[in-house]
Structure 1
Amino acid sequence: MRAHSRWILVLALGTALLAGGLTLAVTTNTFEGVPHLEDEYAYLWEAQVMARGEIKVPSPSYPRCFLVPFVVDYNGFRFGKYPPGWPAALSLALRLGSLTTLNVFLAMACTWLTFRLVSKITTPIEGLLAALLTATSPFFLMNAGSLLSHTFSFFLTLTFVSAWLDATVPSSRSAILTVPLAGLSLGLLALTRPLTALGIAVPFIAHGLWLLIRGKGVLRRRVLIIGATAGGIASLLFLWQYALTGNPWLNPYTLWWPYDRVGFGPGIGLHPDGHQIYYAWVNTKFSLRAGSSDLFGWGRLSWLFMPIGAFALRKNRSAWLLIALGISLILAYGFYWIGAWVLGPRYYYEGMIGATLLTSAGITALAGKLPSLLQPLRTRVLGYLRFSTVTALVMGLILANLWFYLPQRLGQLHGLYGASRSQLAPFESPSAQALTPALVIVHIRESWREYGTLLTLSSPFMDSPFLFTISRGEETDNALAHEFSARKIWHYYPDAPYAFYTAPRPSDFP
């Protein structure tokens, strides 16, 4: 291996470590390792159940008192609405005692895989640039620092694409590994984010069909094996739904919101006339506009180098598979009635590889190669000037993101929706532990998250030192106190966080 290649590998490894360090900082400082979005509460609840080897639990006698967002009660059982992929991964992290660091390792893996994949398609320099753009992206870091599923699905996406590109080279010596790996990763992606998996699969289905028609026999066999493996694993989603609901075709999403379905027409989404193409167009435009600044933290300049990159890669078929992946993902989520923008357009997160590929290719094409010493002086001067100008511009943009945009954007997310680790402090002191086992009846004052954040200390199996319930009135509270008579009963008010009352405050119930 040549010296400069070794240095590129070292720098790529350092970039992956940078991604891990920044993700850890976001996890601990911005999000504090606690859920903020409803999805995170549900993922964590499902992971806690799976960590005990179960997929559902009996419904509590008063389900509304033990509310967990996106966790439904159906036919006497309680379970999360989400597919099993990410909760299963989180459950393993829970068993290892490393819940908040799982996405840190996934962020490092995604950054490294970005380097390897882009290097394979273009050059190691462009791979290193793509990795650096990923590691410093506010969009990437905001989602990686959360408890959401996107970083895991991004990891599966990159694994699938890399394995596919290797497996579809006739002379590949690693096909015995990459063929099953491609099918496995795509199948697991379908068990994690089904619509995302569909959006990502479409360009590769088209490529696979072309290989089935025009490819060599060995490639046809590999494509069929990948498809069969992915399809077989993805079909387990129906087994999952059957195990939860008794009906393989019943989507648990619709048990929380009946209108929470994919497609167009009446009864889908919140609009009176249902989800329509016009609303999909509005959602897409808004999501892309909201995410343009978050992509690299360059404001409206995040797309600056992409047209140049598209021109530079115009003859690179593998590159266009990755670019088509992002486009397909955007189109797929046009069929979903709601967009996402709090953490950027996170439904498009797994398509980020296309943006970093285009940008890194655009930067290297614009910078050009350093001129040889054998070239005329004027050519060398112009070449050095071109290279140094583009390099200075790119480094200036990256540093401006790290110094200005990223801290400001992360600052906006600290304490998002009022959720904070400080809410747990009253229950983590030795004096509070002496009050257990306890049923804590939370009297909400402003937001359900005053109760929701405390759920990180509570078990779905009702056997943790603290159990938390929402006060639903004196009669219901008394019924719960009787049901859990083996526990101490405390009434808790978020406006007096270190006070535990044996009865409701006088002003609460007439």
Structure 2
Amino acid sequence: MIRVTEAGDLAKRVAGWLFLVVPFMPLRLLFDDPPGSSGLLDPLDWAPGLIVCAPGLIVCAGLAWLASRRFPQAVERVAGTVVGALRRPPFPAFLLAVLAALAALLTATSLAAFSRRPLLVDTIAQLFQAKIFAGGVAWVPAPELGAFFATQHMVSDAGRWYAQYPPGHPAALALGVWAGAPWLVPTLFSLLSAWLVIDTARRIFGETVARATAALLVLAPFFWFMGASHMNHVSSHLHISLFLWCFARWAGTGPRPTVGDAARRRWILAAGLTLGAAFVTRPLTALAVGGALALPALRLAAPRRWSTALLGVGGFLCVASLYPIFNAATTGDPLTPGYLRLWGESHGLGFHLSPWGEPHTPLAGLRNALIDLGLLQAFLFEGPIPALAPLGIFLAAGWAPAARSETCSGAGVGADPSIARWDGRLLGAFLAIPAAHFFYWHRDAFLGPRFLYEGLPFLLPLLARALLELRRQLSGRRPAWLGSVDLGTLTTALIGAAFLYSLAFGIPQRFHTYATSLGSLKRDLTAEARQAGIERGLIFVKVSWGNRLIARARGAGASASVAERAYRRSDHCELELVLREAETEGWSGARLDRTLVSLFRPADELAGFRLNGDPTLRFAPERPLAEVCVQEILYDRDGRDVMPATPSYTNYSPHLPANAPDLEGPLIFARDLRDQNHRLRARYPDLPAYLYRDGTLVRLP
């Protein structure tokens, strides 16, 4: 048996208990129903009322127990058939079949669920930056009339216009822009990531674990829903997967370890380069993963040559330096990224007020980490059983350090003592990601716990290994309190039932949700204009009054943080009056910021009113509405006394990337700002003007 330090063994057990306990924690009760937690269970869902609140788990467990008690041989035969189907084909043919299945799933998701469109303002801004890169520049001149084109994560500063994000992912999407199909980039990147993860599992744990890892990738909708999106997590996932693959080659694992000094130098250099690529895509994730594997890397290098490890550091710095170079070209300061230029110091790591005025505290950081881990349990496989329960049992039971020869030989690597070390390395690298985000103020649940997506290259091989070990450890045990059912057979039946539930119900339901939601973000205005016979035109997209308020505040010179906080914490009619005065008198940005801050009110002094169908509209109840505010509401209602069932306004941000970055072209898409539209029309006097509302294009006089 391979021995590990007591501290390492304890850490693995603690991590195992964490995975087991988090799904049962009443997080909504503990943290007062935090936002982005709709995938979490209510506080009583795992309590004595389990039969009523979690029928999927109860049904699966009951059926698995019944099948294991009454038909154990049938369960074993079915399991043997499935395992045989996974083990029988030669590994290259098996791998090709897995990648083909993933290609079909990713493509179907992109086409049928996402309409090949970016569905979050983050991805919209990065796609626009990709179009800027495709033109061979880092930024384009900021529009003179910025309010018509203002988008939340686009920076307009010192005459430059660019996205706030690191350059790595937009640069990757630029390849798709050149090819005319940016949606293909995430799909291809995800397929390459899958191959890297499977091959890494083979090199570390052997072919059996690699095949199980491949099966988990196909059965994990979180992998292919995220992998088909335009999110920068997809590029980061590829770079992290490539880094781990190179790191494993450098470490010399597997049946044919790479031990030559020249080969080791090449692989550690490649690992550093790929981690640098992750840094210029998602810096915090790259630093977390690099920090977690730094000590193992030093231990591996220490008995030989320290210069080998320095090669990895040099490779990382070489590629990572592209980020400050990009910053220098955009913000004018290598050490000031777009985030800080747009939002100020409040966007940085640490405990402080967020850019939106909400405090980020250690308790909030803990809440975010626990929520993401809890959501991962549900989103990873969309099944009734917490997804990390097998890994939790594997670690908490102390099976991880015991790399027995029979387990290792089953994995095809013999009694390799490095297996126990790799358990710790992969676990540490995965947990480093939520640990790093403990200090970051923002989180959301778009497509699931997306901040943990880059952790899948570490997590899935561990989970595959845990499933195999769980079966081995429990086989032959027949506790009387379970009716003397063989625990190995019961585990097999329960896992099979959970995946059948996922395939029959969980995954189709999630796919349907994505396919039928966010309709306004999936509209292709360029295609709609051409279908209407419009080849040239200035198209104003009708938006809500609230959208106009934020855009006008930004266009009038307010800082992004103050504009967002003013919208969240002020009476919107007061905000309208101040903006009209600032636009008329030409206030400076500093004066506008000071005035907007003076409008801030405590939350209990504001109330939400859906007068125009917008749930974010806020007023001070005691203050009567000015006539100009009434007119804004009536405009959103299309002049009706009551709000129609369906608003006639939509979002503008999804249509920003339809523009050429220089805002020249036969079709220009801009935000409808009502009585200010004449200013933009004067900028494009030769283009006919249209208003887009209710899914139709109306010619303006």
TM range (shorter): 0.7 to 0.9
Deviations 1:279-323 (A, max 9, x none): 101111222222220012223421221034434432511232111
User: TM-score, normalization: structure 2?
Assistant: 0.64
In structure 2, distance between residues paired with 1:297 and 1:303: 12
Q: Give the AA of the match of 2:333.
A: N
Deviation at 1:269, TM superposition (A): 5.0
Following TM superposition, by how much is the alpha carbon of 1:12 offset from its aligned partner in structure 2, in angstroms?
2.5
Q: Secondary structure at the match of 2:539?
A: strand
Residue 463 of structure 1, aligned match among 664, 685, 698: 664
Unpaired runs of at least 5, structure 1: 372-384, 504-510
Instruction: Report what 2:495 is aligned to.
Output: 394
Q: CA deviation at 1:459?
A: 1.6
Contact 2:151/2:653, CA 8 A, preserved across alignment: yes
In structure 2, C-alpha distance between the alignment counterparts of 1:328 and 1:42, rounded to whole Å: 28
Residue 453 of structure 1 aligns with which residue?
654
What is the 5 A alignment of 1:255-294? 255-258=341-344, 260-268=346-354, 270=356, 274-294=359-379
Cα separation, partners in 2 of 1:85 and 1:447, compared to 1, 3 Å: farther
CA contact (8 A) 2:243 2:275 kept: yes
Q: Does 1:365 align with 2:473?
A: no
SS at match of 1:305: helix
Change in CA separation of 1:61 and 1:448 when aligned onto 2, cut-off 3 Å: farther
Match of 2:591? Answer: none
Are the equivalent residues in 1 in contact too, given 2:521–2:654 (CA < 8 A)?
A: yes
- Counterpart in the other structure of 2:692: 492
Q: Deviations over 1:336-366 (max 9, x none)?
A: 0012212111111111233312321121112
Amino acid at match of 1:484: Y
What is the aligned partner in structure 2 of residue 378 from structure 1? none
1:382 match: none
SS at match of 2:447: coil
Task: Judge conservation of contact 1:188–1:233 (CA < 8 Å) in 2.
Answer: yes
Match of residue 311, structure 2, among 220, 225, 250 = 225
Q: Which amino acid letter does the alignment assign opposite residue 452 of structure 1?
A: S
Amino acid at match of 1:221: S
Which residue of 2 is the match for residue 246 of structure 1? Answer: 332
State how far apart, in whole Å, the 1-side matches of 2:93 and 2:493 are. 22
- Are the structure 2 counterparts of residues 346 and 447 from structure 1 closer, same or farther at C-alpha, using a change threshold of 3 Å? farther
* Aligned partner of 1:346 among 450, 464, 468: 450
- Conservation of the 8 A alpha-carbon contact between 2:197 and 2:245: no
Contact 1:81 1:253 in 2 (8 A): yes
Q: Aligned letter for 1:482?
A: A
Q: CA deviation at 1:117?
A: 1.0
The residue identity in structure 2 corresponding to 1:289 is G
**What is the alpha-carbon distance in structure 1 between the residues aligned to residue 652 and residue 158 of structure 2?**
26
> What's the Cα RMSD here?
2.6
Change (3 A) 1:426 1:270: closer
- How far apart are residue 118 of structure 1 and its match? 1.1
SS at 1:499's partner residue? strand
Name the CA distance, whole Å, in 2 between partners of 1:344 and 1:203.
Answer: 24
For residue 216 of structure 1, what is the aligned residue in structure 2?
304
Which secondary structure state, in structure 2, belongs to the residue aligned with residue 450 of structure 1? coil
Task: After TM superposition, list the pairs within 5 Å mapping 1:88-167 onto structure 2.
Answer: 88-167=171-250
Unpaired segments ≥5 residues, structure 2: 1-85, 253-257, 403-419, 476-485, 545-646
Determine helix, strand or coil for the equivalent of 1:296: coil
Secondary structure of 2:389's aligned partner: coil
**Contact (CA 8 Å) 1:180, 1:225: kept in 2 or not?**
yes
2:521 is aligned with 1:406: no
AA in 1 matched with 2:280? L
Displacement after TM superposition at 1:391 (Å): 4.3
Q: 1 CA distance for matches of 2:649 and 2:270?
A: 43
Supply the distance in 1 between the matched residues of 2:347 and 2:224 (Cα, whole angstroms): 29
2:106 is paired with a residue of what secondary structure? helix
Q: Percent identity?
A: 22
1:359–1:405 CA distance, 2 compared to 1 (3 A): same
Distance 1:12 1:388 in 2: 28
Looking at structure 2, the residues matched to 277 and 233 of structure 1 have their Cα atoms a distance apart, in angstroms, of 33
Q: Secondary structure at the match of 2:183?
A: helix
Kindly indicate whether residue 686 of structure 2 is the aligned counterpart of residue 478 of structure 1: no
Q: What pairs with 1:30-45 in structure 2 (closer than 5 Å)?
A: 30-45=113-128
Paired residue for 2:101?
18
Deviation at 1:473, TM superposition (A): 3.0
1:501 paired with 2:666, answer no
**What residue identity is the alignment partner of 1:292?**
Q
CA distance in 2: counterparts of 1:300 and 1:394, whole angstroms: 8
Q: Say if 2:459 is the partner of 1:355.
A: yes
**Could you tell me which residue of structure 2 aligns to residue 179 of structure 1?**
268
TM-score by length of 1: 0.87
Q: Deviations over 1:3-50 (max 9, x none)?
A: 968623322221122122111111111111112111111111011111
- Say if 1:479 and 1:139 are closer, same or farther in 2 by CA, change over 3 A: same
